[in-house]
Structure 1
Amino acid sequence: MTGIPHDTPGEPDPLRALDLARLRRRTSMKWRAYPEDVLPLWVAEMDVPLAEPVVRAVTDALALGDTGYPAGTAYAEALAGFAAKRWHWDGVAVERTALVPDVMLGVVEMLRLVTGPGDPVIVNSPVYPPFYQFVTHMDRRVVEAPLGADLRIDPATLREAFAGATAGGGRAAFLLCSPHNPTGTVHTAAELAAVAELAERYGVRVVADEIHAPLVAPGVTFVPYLSVPGAGRGLSLMSASKGWNLAGIKAALALAGPEAADDLARMPEEVSHGPSHIGVIAHTAALRDATGWLDAVLAGLQTNRRLLGALLAEHLPAVRAYPAEATYLAWLDCRALGLGDDPARAFLDRGRVALSSGIPFGTGGAGHVRLNLATTPEILTEGVRRMAAALS
């Protein structure tokens, strides 16, 4: 495994920059969904100031009045440079990319290209809840292929799901979450190559949500799905959104493997009008100029992962935290606490800490919660203490 390069060693940890009083001034979903006495450790927003290069790029654009419609390939070029340096992958072909409003709307557009109404879309549960919501709302059928006991893709289960989904000769897609949300699993090159082989054998089209790709732990290497042998018919969605906390300035990229270029070319032209031009500017600056800031976040997240382990051992030893290799999320098995299928409800009602319930993540989610680590050590410590207080 190769380590993550550090462009600007010594950059201060953004996860230690903001106190609770300042964070409560924010008006985004994380800080407004619950009353002020609730500590929010749920939705995927980071408690960080933005990277200075991103702030500068957006501020310069606003000062110039550069707030029109997006154009050009700067975002794709920045991603290509980031992928080459970070993942040693030269496979981002700018001509096989397209702007989309955000990753999930991009997923919808990619699934429309390769499936039709009523067709099955396979997912590895437990998985990001919007997979179920968006797939169902676009009139496709969700088929679960649950992760194994080790929370990794189970090839036998996936093969069974692929065979069943295509048994009648129809079309099917596999919506791959890589790195996996909520478990933080980073799929290996061998695992992804096995996915590609099964997809080709059964005629299943793979659409990979790779939004968390920049957020791999030090010492772990992310493997883009389109980089593995046999993945040429695959489609991928990438974004700087999660890595640089840019969910509120939307933009993402769809990428096509060499054999999927014609599919991507069929995407309606008006889809590219949906991304924010300011979003494109921000995401481009992040990928191109703010990798040192990202490294500081990754180091801070490692510190928080270790802290969470120590806090759980001290206050909630019956809770099992699965070791995450990526994302800023922790998947916690709370079944031994006796709080039923939805322990998040007890933590909220009795402890006044908001976590994501495991139930919407599908099969394997009951009895679990997802905790957002991307906060200050002080807030994380208080959050676990509140969880423990909910048991008394």
Structure 2
Amino acid sequence: MTYEILTVPLADLRTRTSMKWRRYPQDVLPLWVAEMDCHVAPPVAAALHAAIDRGDTGYPAGPVYEEAVTRFAQDTWGLELDPARIGLMPDVMGGIRNAIGVTTRPGDHVVVNPPVYPPFFAAVTGTDRQLLEVPMTPDGHLDLVALEAAFSGRLGVRPTAYLLSSPHNPTGRAHPAEDLATVARLAREHRVRVIVDAIHAPLTDPGVTYVPYLSVPGSEDALVLFSASKAWNLAGLKAAVMVAGPAAAKDLAAVPYDAARGAASHLAVLSHTVALDEGRPWLTQLRTEIAANRALVDRLLAEKLPAVSQLPGNATYLSWLDCTALGLPDPQQHFLDVARVALNPGPAFGSVGRGHVRLNLATSTEILTEAIERMANSLT
């Protein structure tokens, strides 16, 4: 079956009532929050319609999501998982807070890699833990030398956990196997627990192999959070799973019921399960369209806005744009006020994000083209 996914007309998108299309006035092109401007995968839509038709709107039952994750991981990445070490969570960030709660104590330090997904900061500080920032390298890789210094205590404190975004948001990078193996070795040597946000894991460009953290040696005590919500645009249907390495099963078991399975949505579990099992051809086409949009942005910037550069990415549908050469005090505010294009402000991802913005690639080529044209025209 052939799909056209990122082809929803602007007029139809304007009728949507989700955050992306309601935060800003009608004359603004919203390319900010991580919602896709896509058609719903047909198997998912059919499953949801069928559930409503039969009045199947109660509580989730059975390990259906957990088992779907094991099938997807095996078929997609060759990763064998034990459903008994997979637990249902309300969403990825809720799962991350749960993971921090069972692996660290109040006052402990948790390492993050800015620029990084803004809720990471609140997940640490909101659980009475302390942030220890180890920025990414300027070219968007993990700074392994700095991570070793942080893990070993040479930065003045000894962290107990490391919150890793993999693939990385906002840089749009899938970490290579050798980097993840080094992380696992350092974490084991210095007794740092690794917690991984893998929500974008299915969204690598065609030909790019995603390396699951639990596939690298030394990752046995890691906790990984995963959800189908990003890859199939199901943010409004909240559910996720926590996958425990073989040495972390006790931590998964320590998560309170009401903060985990008791907070998940039945319709979300149904839709995510169908997405993982039956939505794979749709996902394949989506990955192709996102990669084409990434290349389109490169071409448009070179032609119309050469002072702005896109960090080369190979995963997620997010684009990290370096606008520092423009000399604008606040690029995001300028492009919103003058170009009427909504982007995410770089500083929200950490102080190293100054002069940058995050752009959402998951939209039509027409909208992307108009957005870059507006941004370019706003500077003349």
Is 1:72 the equivalent of 2:52?
no
1:18-167 map, 5 Å: 18-90=8-80, 92-164=81-153
Task: Show the 5 A alignment for 1:156-195.
Answer: 156-164=145-153, 172-195=160-183
Q: Tell whether 2:292 aligns with 1:299.
A: no
Q: CA deviation at 1:164?
A: 2.4
2 CA distance for matches of 1:167 and 1:336?
34
**Unmatched tracts of structure 2, length 5 or more:** none
Q: Distance in 1 between matches of 2:159 and 2:203?
A: 33
**Using the alignment, how far apart are the partners of 1:225 and 1:71 within structure 2?**
28
Counterparts of 1:257-276 in structure 2, within 5 Å, are: 257-271=245-259, 272-276=261-265
Q: Contact 2:163–2:196 at 8 Å: present in 1 too? A: yes
Task: Write the distance in 1 (CA, Å) between the matches of 2:156 and 2:25.
Answer: 50
- TM-score, normalised to structure 2's length? 0.98
Q: Is the 8 A contact 2:166 2:175 kept in 1?
A: yes
Shift of 1:171: 5.9
Q: Distance in 2 between matches of 1:24 and 1:136?
A: 36
TM-score normalized with structure 1 length: 0.95
Residue identity in the other structure for 2:369: T
What do residues 364-384 of structure 1 show as CA deviations (whole Å, max 9, x unaligned)? 200000000000000000110
- Contact 1:358–1:370 (CA<8 Å) still a contact in 2? yes
Q: Is the 8 A contact 1:216 1:298 kept in 2?
A: yes
Structure 1 outlier segments of 4+, above 3 Å: 165-168
Q: Secondary structure at the match of 1:193?
A: helix
The answer for the alignment partner of 1:3 in structure 2 is none
* Residue type at the aligned position of 2:230: K
Match in the other structure for 2:379: 391
- Return the offset for 1:165: 8.1
Deviation track 1:14-39 (CA, whole Å, cap 9, x = no partner) reads: 012x1000000000000000011111
- Describe the shift of the 1:254–1:270 C-alpha distance in structure 2 as closer, same or farther (beyond 3 A): same
- The letter of the residue matching 1:390 is S
Check whether the contact 1:113–1:267 (CA below 8 A) recurs between aligned residues. Answer: yes
- Is residue 234–residue 256 contact of structure 1 (8 Å, CA) maintained in 2? yes
**Alpha-carbon distance in 2 for matches of 1:13, 1:52:** 11
Distance in structure 2 (CA, Å) of the matches to 1:237 and 1:38: 33
Contact 1:13-1:299 at 8 Å conserved across structures: no
Corresponding position: 1:290 with 2:279 = yes
- Superposed CA deviations along residues 34-67 of structure 1, whole A, max 9, x for unmatched, are 0111110000000001101001111111111111
Secondary structure, in 3 states, of the residue corresponding to 1:121? strand
Please state how far the C-alpha of 1:166 moved relative to its aligned partner.
9.4
Contact 1:165 1:172 in 2 (8 A): no
Residue in structure 2 matched with residue 208 of structure 1 by the alignment: 196
**Count of aligned pairs:** 379
Shift in Å, 1:86: 1.1
Shift of residue 251, structure 1, vs aligned partner: 0.4
Distance 1:76 1:118 in 2: 33
Coordinate RMSD, CA, aligned: 1.3
State the one-letter code of the partner of 1:314.
E
1:13 and 1:324 map into 2 onto residues whose CA distance is: 23
